[in-house]
Chain A
Amino acid sequence: GNSVTQMEGPVTLSEEAFLTINCTYTATGYPSLFWYVQYPGEGLQLLLKATKADDKGSNKGFEATYRKETTSFHLEKGSVQVSDSAVYFCALRGSDGGATNKLIFGTGTLLAVQP
């Protein structure tokens, strides 16, 4: 079945450091891929998405490229800020033609950015 694997956290960085959070997936066909962010005590916010191979999603300085050959969707940001501290979830929606549009999430990666 479909699944998502994320690097375990926590990831602790200094302000202005480069961020990479790894995400790989297992799925049949061509799933859509998403990154969501969850700030403390809040629900999930969509950060970016990509729906086909080689697509690059970007938002607020974050980027991720859909790599079908490596089944990956790694999240990157060139210069993190303290306000980026949150839990980041990689997710996929399968393309198996099922009636549901359920999202399958990874376990989340906690990012802590220190000033």
Chain B
Amino acid sequence: DAGVTQSPTHLIKTRGQHVTLRCSPISGHKSVSWYQQVLGQGPQFIFQYYEKEERGRGNFPDRFSARQFPNYSSELNVNALLLGDSALYLCASRQTSTDTQYFGPGTRLTVL
């Protein structure tokens, strides 16, 4: 079975631009979460979506937004990019029966 997939793999943007990151969960998983991992640190929770509804939001500014589609895939949008938004963005889908989150390979965002 395919795991969590994310696109693109790498992305380079300049300050002030907008970016959209995409995630497809494992088949059958209805919950998707987004995390930001800054170099040398542990991942920080950004959003969780379940059945297309936002179920939780971390301590991130309103420049960050997300949505989930009927097929349970998800997009993370970041507006007005700052240098500090440079990070690895991880998507995770959750298997409800085992309460386990499975992570994708991530999208490496570099803001210049």
Residues of B within 8 A of A102 (CB): 33, 45, 48, 56, 58
Contact with A along B101-112 (1 / 0, CB 8 A): 111111000000
A interface size (C-beta, 8 A):
25
Residues of A within 8 A of B45 (CB): 100, 102-104
Pair B56/A98 contact, Cβ less than 8 Å = yes
Contact with A along B69-93 (1 / 0, CB 8 A): 0000000000000000000101010
Residues of B within 8 A of A99 (CB): 55-56
Partner of B99, one of A42, A45, A101: A101
How many Å lie between the Cα of A4 and that of B105 in the bound state?
Answer: 23
Partner of B43, one of A42, A51, A93, A103: A103
Pair B41/A46 contact, Cβ less than 8 Å = no
Q: Does A82 contact B (CB under 8 A)?
A: no
Partner of A43, one of B55, B56, B100, B105: B105
Q: How many B residues are at the interface, by size bracket?
A: 20 to 34
How many Å lie between the Cα of A34 and that of B103 in the bound state?
Answer: 13
Q: Does B68 contact A (CB under 8 A)?
A: no
Pair A103/B101 contact, Cβ less than 8 Å = yes
How many Å lie between the Cα of A98 and that of B45 in the bound state?
Answer: 14
Could you jot down 28 A-B contacts, CB within 8 Å?
Answer: A4-B42, A36-B103, A42-B106, A43-B4, A43-B90, A43-B105, A43-B106, A44-B90, A44-B92, A46-B102, A89-B42, A89-B43, A93-B99, A99-B56, A100-B55, A101-B56, A101-B99, A101-B101, A102-B45, A102-B58, A103-B33, A103-B43, A103-B101, A104-B45, A105-B43, A106-B42, A107-B40, A107-B41
Enumerate the 8 nearest inter-chain pairs by beta-carbon distance, A residue then B residue, closest first: A100-B56, A105-B42, A102-B45, A44-B103, A43-B105, A43-B103, A99-B55, A43-B106
Residues of B within 8 A of A (CB): 4, 31, 33, 35, 40-45, 48, 55-56, 58, 88, 90, 92, 94, 99-106
Question: Can you add 5 more A-B contacts, CB < 8 Å, to A46-B101, A98-B56?
Answer: A46-B100, A46-B103, A100-B48, A101-B56, A108-B40
